Structure 1
């Protein structure tokens, strides 16, 4: 018998039955499914940023509204969005199979792998923020109520997720980012370097994922490296970009979000 990677799904017999089904189509989350099982999957979809908007709403839904234990049309649309991204069709291995909003074994396995990685990275990111604060860096994690906001995956880049922070400097509050990959591959980027990288589509753009923190460059400015280049800013705030491979191999299972 297999086991879940994420402790979120432990001791849930409904999800265990779906997990252990050889994708026959008979075990799935759908309308009228066990509310506890539905809520566990809804929470994971929410934290992985798959929650779809409700009708007449133009913003990301609140957790309170999305996680209600009812496998309704918005939950189905959220599952469908994930399945469309990863081409999870039914029947298995049929390229002409249907894409639908049910949560069957392969969909649950994808959610399980991603949420386990997300929760592991949450701990590493909080540790990273604490280490920066211990080094007197003016960084703090954004709060969303009593809970930090969801880690958000850059789809198609491997298991790279980002978490918004505040970086307070003498010129005011500058938004920063802590970028997490596999294992403890975590970097902080902020200020004009972040702005330049973000405008170039971040980890999904030509620079690719970050491979260093923002660090002094030895001449009074600062520099960050990325898989495919570097971005630096001099004391006069002039930004210089260089594109070209940087020797770097991210550790761990880089197929989690591929």
Structure 2
């Protein structure tokens, strides 16, 4: 697959670069450049990222960082079985528990929420850092919802991290998940309050909490121009005030 000339491979994390030192230099550079493309495209073009990950895997499947990248690319394309296999391989190579939450979420994707809950109660969770433990809580709550256990999902999300006024990288997503669970359980007023709290903490627009809050308040976004003004002679499209955020 073609790689832009401005991609040198030096952009990757230094720990990954160190892993690649076990390879011949030319091969290491090729793998690094493909890993850079995976990272660049993962959010905006998951299929493209997946293609570059397959190239990297073909070149260096014995490198843990490559297996991990392949896992995230497969995960982004909802290829949960493949993602789980890559994450397991990476974990065997490194012994790290960092991938435990996303591995559990793959189990959800494969229709096995019970397995995800089993993983949420495993000793590995205690070895995760705070961000990993919050992520595991989010996965466990999702598994409860998969099983139709809305009240249990709400209780699962209730935690010191949720109650804290301190804004951390996970705060917006945790508050959003709690609001969404409350809304699913028919607790609309409480859901509105927590969507508002999610908006306050969502500094990088990682959720669509503002849209959800507006919907609860009955706010509708319409075209900025009326029908008469919008029908231009050159047939151009009318600008829209509506914008969507990613989950």
Q: Same fold (TM over 0.5)?
A: no
The structure, 1 or 2, with the larger RCO (C-alpha pairs under 8 Å, 6+ apart) is 1
Answer 1 or 2: which has greater strand percent.
Answer: 1
Normalising to structure 2: TM-score of the pair? 0.29
Normalising to structure 1: TM-score of the pair? 0.28
Pair member with larger Rg? 2
